[in-house]
Each structure stands twice: as C-alpha cells, then as structure tokens.
A and B are shown apart, each in its own frame.
Chain A
C-alpha cells in the first residue's frame, strides 16, 4: 500500500492512474502515519508481518532485497533445522571474498595475528588490487592505471593464499564457498565483495557517459577532457547509494581545475546532477553547505534533488523524473551500484539490497560469517546509512580480523567498530580539504571539515604511496 505523505486523495488517485498501479494508494494528508513510522525521509518502506511484527523499516529501496525479505517472511522458520557440517578433520580456516580495501586489510591483519597453521584464502575475480582513490587523479592525467594497480598474488609470499576466481555460490549451511574452479570450506567467512557497478542497467550509458568509477572509464574521461574545446560537461549521479560520497564532487573540482589550466574555462559550463539534497547528506548540513559553497565559488552549477530518469544519446540529454532535461557535450557518469550477484542470490541479502550486519561486530545472522565495506548496510542512529567508503572497510576489516583471531585462540573478544571515518576532498590546484569524525554519534554524525590547503593534498598523496607500498 502506498501512502501519499501530505498529499490529497485527488493527487493519490491521479498518481495511481498515471502509473497504472494495482495496489491501494491513499493519502496520509496530515502525515500522522509518516511521523509515527519514519524518520522524516521519503520514500520510506515498512513491512509488517502477519503477526504484526515489523520486519523492516527502511529509507533505501532495493527490489531484490524486498522480494527476498517478503519471501523469507512466508517461509518456514529455519531455526532448529539441523546444520550439515562438512567432513574431514582439517581446520578449514578463514576465507575472504574480495581483494579490495576490506579484504586486503582483513587478510593481512589476520595473518599477523594467527600462526601459519591457520589457513587464510583470499578470492577475487580480478588479478589486481586497484587503489580506487587514484582514479580521480587519472581523469586529469596525473596517474596511469599501472601506477595504482598491484597483483594480488603477491599476498602468497606473506602466507595468504590467493585464488583468482569468480565466487559463484555461498553455501551458508555447509560453510562452503563455490568458485569457478572448485570449493572452499570455511570456519570463518569474511564477505568483502564491494558494490558492483551496473551501468548496463541504464540505457544509453555506454554510448553517452564515461564511467568515473573504473579505470578504463577514467582513461576515457581524461582523453575526452584533453580533446575538449568548449561546451557543457555534466557529472551525473544516477542513483543512491553510491560509494565514496565525496568522489563526484572531487571530480567536479578537478575537472574545473583542468579546464581552467587548459585555458578554456570561459567556454565551458560544468554541471553536477545528484538525487541528494546536498553534498554528503549524512554529514551535518554545515559540511554539505561548505562543499556547495566551493562548487558555487568555482562556477559549477549544482543540481540537487535531481532524480535521474533516462539518457537520450541521440540528443545528448540527461532527463530527470520530473521531465526536466539538460543537454551535455561530455558526460561523466556514476552508474547505479548493487550488491554482487552471488550476494543477491543468497540469504545474506538484506532489504536494502546489501548485507545487514551488527554495527559493532560486523557479524551477519549466519554462524561464522562477517561482512565488511561497501557490500554492507549499517543504519546510523539518525536512520540514514553509513556511507560506502574505503575508510570504513579498512577499520571494519581490523575489527573482524581481531574477532576471528580471538575465537581461534580461545580468547574473549571485545573488538568493536566505532564508526569513525574521514576522507580527503581533492579540490584541484594542488589543494585538498579533509572531513571526518564520528558517524555513530547520536543523534547525528559529528563531523568536521578542515580548512583546505596544500598540506592536505600531499597527505592524500602520501597515503596513496603508503597504501601501495605497505600491502604489496
């Protein structure tokens, strides 16, 4: 049932007819139910079970996640069902899925804490780890792919097995992962598969947009900027949530700096389209306002609450759900994200479309299974989701590694993720800002933006160098 918040019966009827909806659409004219059920955001979805118990209550929407939750609601409870255990006497050890930030840190931290008799296997479909923050420098020609890629098989010399393989199934009951080339049993499983980019779900994306979130796309953006002589550049966030909330804004600042340096600034209009109501909306409004002010000071046109509907490659238009269209000559796109297919087809999938975990321990509801980083959803005290960013995957990986090691060594664990996070914000001109703080603070995250400067930019560069040297 849809409830139109502060809407009239007529508006609800018109909306039901316009979209041919077969379910009831009624008006919550004075917002009574809205106030009782939500934290003030739309859309908001609440699933109530046959027994009157609330199954989920979410701002985010993911069709597969919802379908999965509804299906589970009607299934027989699995509690009490015997769990099949794998045969064999050898300890299965820890399997880590994903060689991004979280997987890399978890594998190293665990290896440091446990003797080599504890087997650690990391599985990734890619042969290389890609340090993603460097992508932003790639778009302005300050990095090439080979400078921020490292082969994951180098982990082998540190006592971490690496399988370059696709994860095809997570069998939670048998505690086994099936990959393209075989199976891996586990005692502990760390799911760190990240968020998958799905540009193919947007018609025309490939013809019209360059993907800001992958190395080939960033190489194309750089070439296009090199060739650009004037016109309109758009940066488009197609859907929420997306990883690294600052990245599109950093892309805007760096692009503006690049075209200014190139001497064509007066011939270029730069636009940033986003469904967010302000930059980094999880942060206190003052922080978002600062970033919006920086966009304005650089003449970058900012379009918040732009709910993307479609691309029209033939006319090079970006169209919003309220039928507003903007023509662009060069489009930098942030494609929709979703949990990887292997997660979407497993009971790990939560209603948000990602894996729901305990905010402190990162445990899932399944024995021995942890999930970290972008593949998870963690609801903050203010009801919003913890942003998807490498800094959180990094510290969550350490917390999980400590818990697994404590369990193996027979110790009680008090490792806990505290919700602390930070990020640099590249501004071009060799300058950067820095924002960070406590995302678990109540009632809202407590974050601060430090005065931008050159030192902060070099701090970001130094961290990149440290990362690529330290783990490889």
Chain B
C-alpha cells in the first residue's frame, strides 16, 4: 500500500544511521530491525 506519494528510493543499504538520534526507545544496540506498518 502506498502511503506517501513522491518519495524517492528509501534509505540505501550501506548508508550510516545514528540510532541514538532517531529518538527511538532503544538503549545501545547490536543491530535494529525497523518495520514500518500501517493498518489497512
């Protein structure tokens, strides 16, 4: 399901993310799987 039109490719593999700056409730990380979801 397309939720937002006009976005480009999404974040590319190999990019670097600062998990601490995402504002997510996670403390330190050995890796993080984010799954974006929306109810139908």
Show the binding face of A for B, using Cβ within 8 Å: 1-7, 11, 15, 24, 26, 28, 31, 33-57, 59, 66, 70, 73-74, 277, 305, 307, 321-322, 379, 381-383, 443
Contacts and interface: CB of A to CB of B under 8 A. Distances in A.
Given A54-B15, A54-B16, A57-B11, A1 B33 contact: yes
22 contacts: A1-B33, A5-B36, A5-B37, A15-B39, A26-B25, A33-B22, A35-B4, A39-B10, A41-B2, A42-B37, A43-B37, A47-B32, A47-B34, A48-B34, A50-B30, A52-B19, A53-B14, A70-B31, A73-B31, A383-B8, A383-B9, A383-B10
Given A52-B16, A52-B18, A7 B39 contact: yes
A443 B7 CA distance: 10
Nearest 8 A-B pairs (CB), nearest first? A40-B4, A39-B10, A40-B7, A44-B36, A5-B38, A46-B34, A48-B32, A38-B10
Contact of B38 (A6, A46, A55, A321): A6
A55 B31 CA distance: 10
Interface of B: 1-19, 22, 24-26, 29-40
B13 A443 contact: no
B9 to A, nearest CB: 5
Interface SS majority for chain A: mixed
B31 A1 contact: no
Interface SS majority for chain B: loop
Contacts of B2: 40-41, 277
Given A48-B29, A53-B15, 12 more contacts: A1-B32, A1-B33, A26-B24, A36-B11, A38-B36, A48-B17, A48-B19, A48-B34, A54-B11, A54-B16, A55-B31, A70-B33
